[in-house]
Amino acid sequence: MTLAISVIVTTYNRPDALAATLRGLAAQADRQFEVIVADDGSTSETSDFIREIQQSFPVPLQHVWHADQGFRAAAITNRAINQSTGDYIVLMDGDCIPRSCFINWQRKLAQPGWMVGGNRILLEEDFTRRILEEELPVHLWKRNQWIKPRLRGWTNRMLPILFTLPDGRWRCKRPRDWRSLRTFSMAVHREDLFNVNGLDEAYTGWGSQDSDLIIRLMHSGVRVKSGRHASPVLHLWHPALSRDDAAGNRTELDEVIKSHRIRARKGLLDQ
């Protein structure tokens, strides 16, 4: 039976970047998936854009929104997961462009009892501006088209695009490497997410929510599988976010590491 996949895309007031991400998802070779945009309080520009493309989008597309009350990405992501129908959840940011083989690779790498973390290629500021203004189809670019951007310093790497490595036991050799995963591109089975009560909404502001989720999943027995050199996402440049709460969140994360707590204090089942 085909694995049902739900892609959760988080966004906040950046419809041009979200449009690039959705163009990448619309171009997937494997179209057996759905998309839920988890919107952390964007203005109507984002909802208007989604409504405009919803009917013609090649796979089911939902928009889940809550009011802007500060950084609450964990809460809206949990709400989007609750709205999803897939058995396998792919989490990604709305400023990361997937290449056309992205879903195909997510399906190949899916394995019971494991969560999969991909890697990213960082795109420089001016190159990002060009991509967004000219709607460059970088999600469809061939390997040779990335040589010039790399030589000119518009990207931080290109090896993940040049060399694709097959699935295999080597991907499972670091099953507790939680630092290698982030929710800009991460996949996990639905039942595992609900077992730990999803992301912890008790964190305030930016920082550590994704690591907290990954560590609690590990405490519950889910292991880490590498998705590197499979289908990296293209991460659009953006200004650094405020990190006023980062130190306090890191202290909370350290407590989770020590305590072996599994369930989020406030999460999926508390919606």
CATH number at residue 13: 3.90.550.10
Per-residue pLDDT of the chain (271 residues; tens, 9 = 90+): 789 999 999 999 999 999 999 999 999 999 999 999 999 999 999 999 999 999 999 999 999 999 999 989 999 999 999 999 999 999 999 999 999 999 999 999 999 999 999 999 999 999 999 999 999 999 999 999 999 999 999 999 999 998 899 999 999 999 999 888 888 899 999 999 999 999 999 887 777 889 999 999 999 999 999 999 998 999 999 987 666 667 778 888 888 888 889 999 999 988 6
pLDDT at 244: 65
Separation CA 230–CA 194 (nearest Å) = 27
| Per-residue CA distances from 207 to 97, 183, 245, 261 (Å) | 22, 12, 7, 19
pLDDT at 247: 77
Pairing, β 120-122 against β 233-235: parallel
Q: How many domains does the chain have?
A: 1
Of 90, 88, 84, 91, whose CA–CA distance to 111 is shortest? 88
Decide: 76 and 98 in contact? Cβ < 8 Å.
Answer: no
> Can you give the residue range of the structural domain that contains 189?
5-270
Separation CA 96–CA 109 (nearest Å) = 19
84: left (phi over 0), alpha (psi -120 to 50) or beta: beta
> In what helix (H) or strand (E) does residue 92 lie, and over which residues does it extend?
strand 88-93
What pTM was estimated for this model as a whole? 0.95
